[in-house]
Amino acid sequence: MNNETYQRIDAITARVLAGETMTAGEGRWMIRLEDDYLPWLMAGADRIRKTFRGDEIEVCAISNVRSGNCSENCSFCAQSGHYKTAAPVYNYIPAEKLVEQAERARAWGASDFGVVSKGWGVRSTKEREQLREYFTALRDHSDIGRCASLGALDQETAVMLKAMGMENYHHNLECAESFFDQVCTTHTYQENIDTIRHARDAGLRVCAGGILGMGESLDQRVDLALTLRELGVESVPLNFLNPQGGTPFGDCEPMQPLDILKAIAVFRYLLPKAEIRIAGGRQFLGDLQAMIFMAGASGVMIGDYLTTQGRQVEDDLKMLEALKLRPRGDTQQRRAQQVQEHKIVWT
Ligand code: SF4
C-alpha cells in the first residue's frame, strides 16, 4: 500500500464533493485499485452519497406482469424465447393482483413500484388497454410512484404512457456499447439510447443502468457509467449477473463481493448525484450486503426480481434499521418538494 494512492483518492473525493467531474481516466484507475484500498474508496463514496443524496434510502419494488417467451435474445435473460430455461411463462396478471403487490410494497416503505413486462415495446391496442387499466388502478388505489419497464419506446408511446399516469420509465442500457453485441443482437444499443431520450422528452423520470459481471472488461464497466452520465440519467439501477441455466451467460462466474463493492463505489464517484439503486444479484455479496450503502448506493430494490427471488424483505428492513438509514418512502410529488427544500439535485 502506498501513501500516494490514498492521497490521489482523497484529491478526487475533494474535487467530486466540490461539484467537479471525475475523468474517464480516473475512473479506469479507480476500478483497478487493489482490494486493500477499498475501505478508503468506500469512505469517499459514502461521503459523496451523503452529500448529494442525504441519509435516506430510496426503496422500490417491481411486479413482473407478463413473463417468458420474449422475442429478444438478451444473453442474461431467462425470459428470452430463444433459450430453454425454467422461467415461468404467463400473460398479464389481473390489475387487482398488481394493486395488492403495490400496496404491500408501499407498506414496506417503497416509494416506487415498477410494472415490468417482457417484450420489446408497446405494440398492440390490447397491450395499451392493459397498461391503461394498470396505471388507472394504481393511481386510484395507491400513492406509490408509478414506474414501468416495457422495452423500446418511441416518442408517441412515451407521451401516451405519461398521459396514462406513468411517472418513471426504466430502460437499462445493460452494458457499455462496445460489449452490447455479446449481450443482444435482436435490438441495438442506439434503440436503448433513443428510448431513454424519448422517455425524458415526454417528461418522465428515467431509470437506466445495467448488469455487471457478464464478461465485460473493467474499462467497459466505467464506460457504462460514463454513458449514463452523458445521458444525464437520474436513477441508476445496478444489477450483478445471476447466471440463469439455459442462457448463454448461464455458466458465468458470479462477481466477487469486493469487486461488486468497488464497482458501486466507482459508479458513485462518476455519478455523484444519481440515485444508485442496487437490484438483482446482491446476494453474491453474502455477509457484506449492508456495505452497499457505505460503498455509495442510495437505493435498493426489495422483494423478488423478474425471474429470481430476492432476500426476505424483513431482513432488508432490519438491515436499513441497523444502519440507521430510513427509506425515503415518499411518492414523486412529495419527493419533488423535498428536493426543493433540501436542495438535493438530480443530475
Ligand atoms: S431482458 Fe427484456 S427484452 Fe431482453 S429477453 Fe429479457 S424480457 Fe426480453
Instruction: Tell me how far the alpha carbon of residue 81 lies from the centroid of ligand 1, in angstroms.
Output: 9
Q: pLDDT over 70 for what percent of the chain?
A: 93
Write down the pLDDT at residue 312. Answer: 84
Segments in 122-173 forming alpha helices (H): 125-141, 155-164
Q: Which of 64, 80, 242 to mutate to test the pocket of ligand 1 (most atoms within 8 A of CB)?
A: 80
Residue 345 has a pLDDT of 43
- Average pLDDT score, the chain: 92
Quickly state the pLDDT bin for 98 (edges 50, 70, 90).
very high
CB of 77 within 6 A of ligand 1: the answer is yes
**Using a 6 Å cutoff on CB, does residue 82 contact ligand 1?**
no
The reply to whether ligand 1 has any atom less than 6 angstroms from the CB of 79 is: yes
For the cut 70, the answer to whether the pLDDT of residue 129 exceeds it is yes
Average confidence (pLDDT) over 119-144: 92
Tell whether ligand 1 has an atom less than 6 A from the beta carbon of residue 151: yes
**Higher pLDDT, residue 74 or 343:** 74
The mean pLDDT of 22-30, rounded to a whole number, is: 98
pLDDT of residue 202: 96
Read off the pLDDT of each residue in 195-209 and give the average, rounded to a whole number: 96
> What's this model's pTM, rounded to 2 decimal places?
0.93
pLDDT at 346: 41
Question: Which protein residue's CA is at the shortest distance from atom 4 of ligand 1?
Answer: 74
Closest of 240, 299, 249 to residue 110, by C-alpha: 299
CA of 320 to the centre of ligand 1 (A): 31
Q: How far is the centre of ligand 1, averaged over its atoms, from the C-alpha of 176 (Å)?
A: 17
What confidence score (pLDDT) does residue 338 get?
53
Statement: residue 347 has pLDDT above 80: no
d(CA 113, ligand 1 centre) in Å: 19
108 pLDDT tier (thresholds 50, 70, 90) = confident
**308 — pLDDT class (breaks 50, 70, 90):** low
Query: Does 262 contact ligand 1 (Cβ within 6 A)?
Result: no
- Residue 225 pLDDT exceeds 60: yes
Length of the chain: 347
Which set of grid coordinates corresponds to residue 259?
Answer: 469487486
Q: Is the pLDDT of residue 158 over 70?
A: yes
CA distances from 249 to 34, 117, 119, 269 (A): 27, 21, 19, 29
Whether residue 70 has its Cβ less than 6 Å from ligand 1: yes
Residue 273 has pLDDT above 80, yes or no: yes
Q: Tell me which of 181-190, 207-216, 315-324 is least confident.
A: 315-324
Q: How is residue 280 written as a grid cell?
A: 438483482
Q: Can you give the pLDDT at residue 310?
A: 67
In this prediction, residue 343 carries a pLDDT of: 45
* C-alpha–C-alpha distance, residues 110 and 156, integer Å: 29
- Give the Å distance between the CA of 223 and the centre of ligand 1: 22
- What pLDDT, on the 0 to 100 scale, is given for residue 63? 94
Residue 341 has pLDDT above 80, yes or no: no
Contacts of 79 (CB under 8 A, 6+ apart): 67, 68, 69, 70, 85, 87, 118, 306, 307
pLDDT for residue 335: 57
How many A from CA of 128 to the centre of ligand 1?
19
pLDDT of residue 201: 95
Residue ranges of domains in the chain, CATH in brackets = 23-342 (3.20.20.70)
